[in-house]
Structure formats: structure tokens, C-alpha cells
């Protein structure tokens, strides 16, 4: 019984301590509602690479995005990402897979103070992988994408982001009637956004 009272008192004190922070975030956040656009650049890597040869599973990835922040902590964002290329070399030749994706995500942000906030993203992507080299073909996948990151706002209009995103379960085209399976593509990037 005494432990329950201590937990209740601690929860109440933590709640009251958070009220000024939430009020400050609400006041600041209302000035930042509306449309924004941005771009990012980073490194992509895949979780799976064909065996039996040498493999290069990292490449440069880009993303162009636009969104609408309709609540101080919630936005909806859409983007296009050339996710880069994975290549594998075998004694008989090489195989390349190039990936591109469109995405729509919900973005949750939590201000920490001093113009810095943390981000969480969750949504869906539609990706296309094109094979070339020893095999050719293309395949489209729609699945889940998610990510985390941080954002620093220099002023009311300009912000800088550092984020990690995952495009889960991206499927490659079948090769010679055999399923190539799927892979996760991770992107670590830095970008800028401009609020209108």
C-alpha cells in the first residue's frame, strides 16, 4: 500500500513538472504549423546480399520530401528516395540491384528545448527494384517504413535533421524462376527543411 502511494505521488509530481514544458512546446509549436519541404542525403545499406561472391551493399541515398504539420507534435509527410545500388560480383559476371521508393509517413515530434526535438516516423512505402547484369527484371513492393531522428531549428523557417529510416521487406525480382527473397534497406541521412 505504501509503495502504491509513493508511485502515485511520483507520477503526479512528474506530471506537474511536465506541464510548463508542454505549454512552452504548444506555444512554440503553433507558430510552426503549416507546409514544409526539404531534402536529405545519406548512406543506404541492405541487410542481405547474394552469397558466393564479393558484395557492395552500401551506396548514397537521397530523399526529397514535403509535408504538413497540423499539430505541434504531428505532421504528415511524403517523399521520393533513390535508395542507391547494391552490386555483387561472381566468377561469371556481376549483378546490380537499384532501388527507388515513394513513401507516406506520419511524423511525431517531441520538443526537448533549445530548438531541438526528437522525431519518430511510421508509414508505408512503394519501392521498385531493378536488376541488371547476369539477370534482369523489376519488382514493386509496398510495405512498412519507420525511422527515428532529431531536428534542430535554426529559426522559424529553417531546420536541420539527422535521421535513420528503414524500408522493411523490399522484394527483389525472381531470378530464373527462383524467389530472390526480401531485404531491409536502412538509410542514415542528414537533411534540411524549410517551413512556408
What are the tens digits of pLDDT across the range 88-107? Answer: 777 777 788 899 999 999 99
Least confident of 66-75, 84-93, 103-112, 152-161: 84-93
Strongest mean pLDDT among 10-19, 54-63, 86-95: 54-63
| Residue 159: other Cβ atoms inside 10 A | 20
pLDDT above 90: residue 24 = no
Model pTM? 0.77
For residue range 125-137, list pLDDT tens digits in order.
Answer: 999 999 887 778 8
The pLDDT of residue 21: 46
Mean pLDDT of the chain: 83
Whether the per-residue pLDDT at 119 is higher than 60: the answer is: yes
Q: Which residue has the higher pLDDT, 150 or 183?
A: 150
- HEC string of the chain equals CHHHHHHHHHHHHHHHHHHHHHHHHHHHHHCCCEEEEEEEEEEEEECCCCCCCEEECEEEEEEEEEEEEEECCEEEEEEEEEEEEEEEEECCEEEEEEEEEEEEEEEEEEEEECCEEEEEEEEEEEEEEEEEECCCEEEEEEEEEEEEEEEEECCCCEEEEEEEEEEEEEECCCECCECCCEEEEEEEEEEEEEEC
Please name which of 111, 87, 110, 88 lies closest in space to residue 99, comparing C-alpha atoms: 87
Instruction: Please state the rounded mean pLDDT for residues 29-38.
Output: 82
| pLDDT value, residue 67 | 96
Amino acid at each position: 500500500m505504501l509503495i502504491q502511494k509513493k508511485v502515485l505521488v511520483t507520477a503526479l509530481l512528474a506530471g506537474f513538472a511536465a506541464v510548463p514544458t508542454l505549454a512552452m512546446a504548444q506555444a512554440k509549436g503553433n507558430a510552426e504549423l503549416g507546409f514544409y519541404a526539404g531534402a536529405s542525403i545519406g548512406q543506404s545499406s541492405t541487410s542481405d546480399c547474394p552469397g558466393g561472391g564479393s558484395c557492395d551493399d552500401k551506396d548514397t541515398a537521397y530523399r526529397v520530401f514535403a509535408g504538413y504539420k497540423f499539430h505541434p507534435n504531428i505532421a504528415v509527410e511524403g517523399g521520393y528516395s533513390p535508395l542507391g545500388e547494391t552490386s555483387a560480383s561472381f566468377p561469371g559476371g556481376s549483378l546490380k540491384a537499384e532501388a527507388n521508393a515513394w513513401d507516406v509517413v506520419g511524423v511525431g515530434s517531441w520538443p526537448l528545448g533549445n530548438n531541438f526535438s526528437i522525431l519518430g516516423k511510421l508509414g508505408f512505402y512503394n519501392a521498385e527494384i531493378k536488376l541488371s547484369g547476369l539477370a534482369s527484371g523489376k519488382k514493386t513492393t509496398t510495405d512498412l517504413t519507420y525511422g527515428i531522428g532529431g531536428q534542430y531549428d535554426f529559426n522559424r523557417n529553417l531546420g536541420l535533421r539527422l535521421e535513420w529510416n528503414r524500408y522493411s521487406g523490399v522484394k527483389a525480382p525472381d531470378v530464373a524462376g527462383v524467389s530472390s527473397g526480401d531485404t531491409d534497406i536502412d538509410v542514415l541521412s542528414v537533411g534540411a527543411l524549410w517551413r512556408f
